[in-house]
Amino acid sequence: MSPPVAVVTDSTAYLPPEEISRRGIVVVPLQMIVGGRPLDDTAWIEGTSVGDALRERGQVTTSMPAPRRFTDAYAEAAARGATGIVSIHLSAEMSGTVEAARAGAEHSPVPVDVVDSRSIAMGLGFPVLAAASAAARGATRTEVADAARRRAESVRSFFYVDTLEYLRRGGRIGAAETLLGSALMIKPILHISGGAIVPLEKVRTASRAIARLEDLAVEAVGTGAGPVEVAVQHLAARSRADTLAARLHRRIPALAKLIVVEVGPVIGAHVGPGMLGITVSAGEPLVSTDL
């Protein structure tokens, strides 16, 4: 039996499919435009690597969902028995998706709370899982939304990109930062602060950047911490991601679960191949132990 409060998110959470299915989470896809052809983030060209597509085609742009897609998702959840909905999405600083969700909620057959996660990827995914866990326990719509907001406030995300050019193209980082990084061949480490992508540190090589990512994750966990979950995210960099995950396993004694996730084309279009990211989430473990 479905819980009375349904949880809706968007495709940029990049949650493991098993979690989406097991928890009944509804996912509304963003879109990418490839050669003038719109495609859902969740329906990438079969057999096509996102990294290869970005290298070969270059002009991959992204688009938020239309409000009607949210209205349809809310109606679907209501038809399955939901009496309320919590809809959790990527940061409004990065996309108009939250506003589209709010517009769609105006025509929902049941009440909807829209939550801005102020993050993206598993920085969004962990709050979605927190909301789904609360809903499964029978929490009210307000309690489910509060669970998402609390987890969103506690997650920390850091990431490395091979080049700032993709972020510059999408308007996610300033031209001055891009020029500085390019001129000095600097490898940037960024984080999400105030819902926006912000430069954190600059190092000289990719290996140093990845080592610093590892240190930042360990520092974010702190000492004497309770259970934590970590997501290592990447784009066309599985070997690097697996190596980083193995090192984090050794360095974080309080680790309850670690997953490795490849991001899809909507995020990929803005970060480019080679991206590595780490999201740290403290609190009640949320990811299934059998993944």
Model confidence at 223, pLDDT cuts 50, 70, 90, reads low
Predicted confidence at residue 92, as pLDDT, reads: 95
Report the 10 Å Cβ neighbour count for 249. Answer: 11
Q: How much of the chain, in percent, has pLDDT values that exceed 70?
A: 81
- Report yes or no: 122 and 264 within 8 Å, Cβ to Cβ: no
Q: Which of 268, 288, 279, 272 is nearest to 245 (CA)?
A: 279
Average pLDDT value over all residues in the chain: 85
pLDDT tier at 27, thresholds 50, 70, 90: very high
Q: What is the mean predicted confidence (pLDDT) over 184-197?
A: 83
Torsion of CA 238, 243, 249, 255, to 10 degrees: -30
Statement: residue 55 has pLDDT above 60? no
Tell me: the pLDDT tens digits for 225-273?
Answer: 678 999 999 998 999 999 999 999 999 988 999 999 998 888 887 788 8
Tokens, residue 244: 């980083």
What integer pLDDT is reported at residue 187 of this predicted model?
80
pLDDT at 290: 53
Bigger pLDDT: 69 vs 223: 69
Choose among 238, 258, 256: nearest CA to 248.
258
Q: Is 278's pLDDT higher than 80?
A: yes
Mean of the pLDDT values across residues 204-223? 89
115 confidence band (pLDDT: 50, 70, 90): very high
Question: Quick count: other Cβ atoms within 10 Å of Cβ 40?
Answer: 18
129-160 burial string, b = 16+ CB within 10 Å, else e?
bbbbbbbbeebebeebbbbbbebbeebbbbbb
Extended beta strands in 29-154, E state: 31-34, 37-40, 60-63, 84-89, 112-116
Average pLDDT rounded to a whole number, residues 202-207: 85
Share above pLDDT 90 across residues of the chain, in percent, rounded to a whole number: 58
What pLDDT, on a 0 to 100 scale, did the predictor assign at position 186? 74
pLDDT at 181: 47
What's the confidence (pLDDT) of residue 249?
94
Q: What is the pLDDT of residues 137-161, one digit of tens each?
A: 999 999 999 999 999 999 999 998 8
pLDDT of residue 26: 96
DSSP assignment letter at 11: G
Residue 179's pLDDT is: 40
Query: Contact 158/288 with Cβ under 8 angstroms?
Result: no
